[in-house]
Structure 1
Amino acid sequence: MAVDVVKLNHLLVIARTGSFSRAADELGITQPALSRSVASLELRYGFRIFDRGPGGVSPTAVGAMVLADAQALIRDSSILEHNLRLYGRGEAGKVSFGMGPLIGSLLLPGLSVHLLGQRPQLQLRCAIKTVEALLRDLLSDAVEVVFCAGRLTPAPEIIIERLGVVRLGIIARAGHPLASKPSPRIADLAAYPFASAVELGSQELPGRGGALICDNYELLRMVTLRGDAVWFSSPQVVVEDLAEGRLIEIPVVDMPFQQTEVSMVRLKGRTSSPAAKSLMAYVAERLANDATVPKRRTRAARP
Structure 2
Amino acid sequence: MVQQKLLLYLRQGDLHNYRVLLNLQHLHFRGFSVESIDDWVPGFVSTDTDPSSFFLQKFMYQHGFRSPVERDKAGWTPLCYAAVSGTPLLLVALLQQRANPNDCIRHASQQQVQMSAGASALIICVCLNHLDAIQILLEHRANPNRGDATGTTAVHYSCSCANADALRLLHAARGSTVLQNAFKITPTMLMGGVGNNNAELQVRLIEELSVRSLTLSEVNTALHLSILFGGASGAVVVTLLEAGADINGPTCLPKSALFQTLMAYMSFRHPWRQTAFSRYAYHRRGATPLMCSIICGAYEAAAVLIASGARLDLRNGRGCSAKELAAEMS
TM-score range, shorter chain: under 0.3
Q: TM-score, normalised by structure 1?
A: 0.24
Q: TM-score, normalised by structure 2?
A: 0.23
Say which structure is richer in strand: 1
Q: Which has the larger radius of gyration?
A: 1
For CA contacts below 8 A with separation 6 or more, give which structure has more relative contact order. 1
